[in-house]
Amino acid sequence: MKTTSKFAHYIFAALAVLVMAFTTTACSDDNTSDLQLDGDCNIKALALDQYEGTIDAASRTVVVRVPETYDTKEMAVSKLELSDGATADITTGVKMNMTVAHSIRVTNADVYLDWTVKAVRDEAKMLSFKLNGTYVGSIDEAAKTITVFVPADVDVTKLVPSMTVSDNATVTPQNNATVDFTHPVEFTVENNTAKAVYTVTVTVIGKPSAVFVGLAQDMSALNAEEADACKWMLQNVPNSLYVSFDAIQNGSVDLSECKLMWWHFHKDGGVDQAPAFEKAAPEAINAAAKLRDFYNNGGSFLLTRYATNLPAYIGAQKDGRVPNNCWGGNEDSPEITGGPWSFFKNGNDSHAIYQNLVGGDDSNAVLTCDTGYGITNSTAQWHIGSDWGGYADYATWRNATGAKDLGYGSDGAIVVWEFPASEGKGGIVCIGSGCYDWHTTVDLSSDRYHKNVETMTLNAINYLMNK
């Protein structure tokens, strides 16, 4: 007789229980879950410090607009209305630091949704200004003024402004409305509680005395580094205009009274050696013959950053070579300086470009920015030494290039130089130091030395224009 073990009985019993459980579940007419999933999790109203929020149900966002200078570091929830039966992880009376956005969870039974609440200051700023889609205004935010320079053949009585302003703001006169700029015109930007009035002045320039040149068709297409330099020039150098290389090449701009061209050429990652320059700046190469004529007829150049390659293409550089040591970073990931940056004069203290600069402890140093500045360190310099580069010493470099060295890096590289005016030709000043920088995303209000960039540039322009 075959017998069954006690352990086997346990197995059979467990299997029977599982089968019964499965059968009972499969045959049940009651499939209702205990979870409560039909509750709404909406914010119907929310206010901070009595400022009502605007609710966007689609994005589950609440935006609370406050005055332009309002302190948002500690704002109290003064109103909170939710869907019936819902609760939130905040309550009225709770105070929050609204300098950053907050996530709020709204729960109703077994359902929840996360909402984003943020405080936005009313801002009424003119962000960009252009006339007839071509002539870009230089905005002075502190003074609330906008200056636009236009050629003489433009009818200033019928100019069409196109503007960008702060989010949620409106502007009058409106975009694309024809405006008479015979006299200065006031433009009003409004955004809820914020309001700003900008005075726009249009200046007609028939024959510019100085121009900022660039690869872009108009200054609105310049990159941030070049645009900051260009705007400064238009604000600080009388009778100056932005001109593209294409305009110079096709003769659409009258340069008969122009004494100086300034080209500040930036490219993320740097421009190293002649083939890279020619690929990066074909517009300048195409205009080289016109630029050479300008130079041979007494016109001067201020060439900064990678524009220092240009002398080789207009007959100024005796050996036809370009700076032999170049590199650069990217504007969106600048290097943050750990201390003030500078280059050195080494006996050229009396040169016009170095006058009235703000100095530190080292009188030989030309300081251009302070600790904490965001810089691309974009450099186009001359390495001196027999190891590489072809110039064994300074005397060899001077004889080969026909230039005069004015500024030096800490390793002895030449970072500022000039081709003095002679035999009816204009003068050229080149600044290729990585310390020379116009655009940064950091706050410059406490920077002790960056003003030297402006002073040195104006010195160079005045020197080249014989002022």
Q: pLDDT digit string (tens) for 203-228?
A: 888 789 999 999 999 888 899 999 99
Give pLDDT, residue 422. Answer: 95
H-helix or E-strand containing 66? strand 61-66
Q: How confident is the model at residue 34 (pLDDT cuts 50, 70, 90)?
A: low
* 82-96, 140-154, 324-338, range with the lowest pLDDT: 140-154
Same fold, 43-121 and 123-206: yes
The rounded distance, in Å, linking the Cα atoms of 168 and 317 is: 53
Strand partners, 358: none
| pLDDT tens-digit map of 322-353 | 999 999 999 999 999 999 999 999 999 999 99
| pLDDT tens-digit map of 228-278 | 999 899 888 988 989 999 999 999 888 999 999 999 999 999 999 999 999
Give pLDDT, residue 37. Answer: 65
HEC sequence for 131-180: ECCCEECEEECCCCEEEEEEECCCCCCCECEEEEECCCCEEECCCCCCEC
How many separate helices (H) and strands (E) can be counted in the chain? 8, 29
Q: How confident is the model at residue 30 (pLDDT cuts 50, 70, 90)?
A: low
User: What is the domain class of 208-464 according to CATH?
Assistant: alpha beta
Structural domain spans, the chain? 43-121, 123-206, 208-464
Q: Which residue has the tokens 């080249």?
A: 464
Strand pairing category for 145-151 and 194-205: parallel
The rounded distance, in Å, linking the Cα atoms of 211 and 466 is: 16
Q: What percent of the chain has pLDDT over 70?
A: 92
Give pLDDT, residue 206. Answer: 78
Give pLDDT, residue 35. Answer: 64
DSSP string of 168-221, one letter each residue: T-EEESPTT--B--SS-EEEEEEETTEEEEEEEEEEEESS-SEEEEESSSSGGG
Cβ-Cβ contacts under 8 Å for 130 (sequence gap 6 or more)? 136, 137, 161, 162, 163, 220
Fold of 43-121: Immunoglobulin-like (2.60.40)
Its CATH architecture, for the domain 123-206, is: Sandwich (2.60)
Give pLDDT, residue 28. Answer: 43
Is the pTM here over 0.75, yes or no? no
* 112-126, 155-169, 180-194, 382-396, range with the lowest pLDDT: 382-396
